[in-house]
Amino acid sequence: MMPIKVENLCGAELALWVARALGEKSQVPNYFAQFHIHDRVCYTESGRQVVWTPHTNFLQAGPIISENGISVEYTAEWISPYTNDENIPPFWEACVGSDPFSVCRKCDLGLRDRDHYIYQTGETFLIAAMRAFVASVFGDFIPAVFP
């Protein structure tokens, strides 16, 4: 099967890959010792079930964003030097890396230095941030079937 682009992850599939990425980064995926993830369901210390949706829930995504240095920026107007398409809808850009929204220091075009950090987009702040987090662990492509 063909690998899946991280930029195409959404909904429950994105939530699942965020959980898998957390498992890769730390042996026990939990936040502030209050959440435990099992099969896309989040459990509190008291055993109460909470739906695992870091792509829509700031309480779940906030620690991921903070601990991984994810920066997010809203792009209302996109002017690309590579296309003349002016009908691109507004979107969010998320980056993992140092000073990701700075202007590229290696060129005079005023372009962002996207070659030196992990970059993903999304329709919402959290979707972009969670895609960037998954890409920071697995790269821009994930396997179609997780082993």
Domains of the chain as residue ranges with CATH: 4-139 (3.30.2120.10)
Q: Which two tokens stand for residue 93?
A: 């850009």
* pLDDT at residue 51, as a whole number: 78
Output the CA angle 46-42-132, nearest 5 degrees: 140
The answer to whether 99 touches 70, Cβ cutoff 8 Å, is no
What single DSSP character describes residue 93? Answer: E
* pLDDT at residue 130, as a whole number: 96
Put simply, whether the predicted model's pTM sits higher than 0.85 gets the answer: no
* pLDDT at residue 65, as a whole number: 92
